[in-house]
């Protein structure tokens, strides 16, 4: 199963673009920081991952401010054929306003 759930901060939003089929597309860069237990030892995780959203999700994300915390669900795929780089394809998004416990489902 190829399914990713990630809480991350928006580091970069590229301009909204359209695919040749006319579908809105948005490329973004996300940063995740956390601590996990690995083999009974704490491990700090600090990663940056490239992500892509299509359709309604792309349009909704294009208006988010930099630094916004979001929770995404999606899948990993190669960025391009014969490329070693992976990209997170976002299927659902939730964001929360800083200083509140309220979560808003974007799409």
Prediction pTM value:
0.84
Domain residue limits at 46? 4-105
**CATH code, domain carrying 83:** 2.40.50.140
Is the distance from CB of 58 to CB of 26 less than 8 angstroms? yes
For residue 101, pLDDT over 50 is answered with: no
- pLDDT tens, position by position, 41-64: 999 999 999 999 999 999 999 989
The closest of 61, 2, 1 to 26, measured between CA atoms, is 61
Structure tokens given for 45: 């995780």
**Domain count along the chain:** 1
């Amino acid at each position: 199963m190829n399914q990713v759930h990630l809480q991350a901060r928006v580091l970069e939003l590229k301009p909204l673009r359209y695919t040749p089929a006319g579908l809105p597309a948005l490329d973004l860069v996300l940063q995740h920081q956390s601590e996990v237990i690995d083999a009974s030892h704490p491990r700090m995780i600090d990663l940056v991952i490239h992500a892509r959203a299509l359709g309604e999700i792309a349009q909704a994300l294009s208006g988010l401010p930099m630094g916004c915390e979001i929770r995404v669900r999606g899948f990993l795929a190669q960025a391009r054929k014969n490329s070693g780089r992976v990209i997170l394809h976002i299927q659902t998004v939730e964001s929360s306003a800083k200083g509140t416990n309220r979560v808003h489902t974007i799409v």
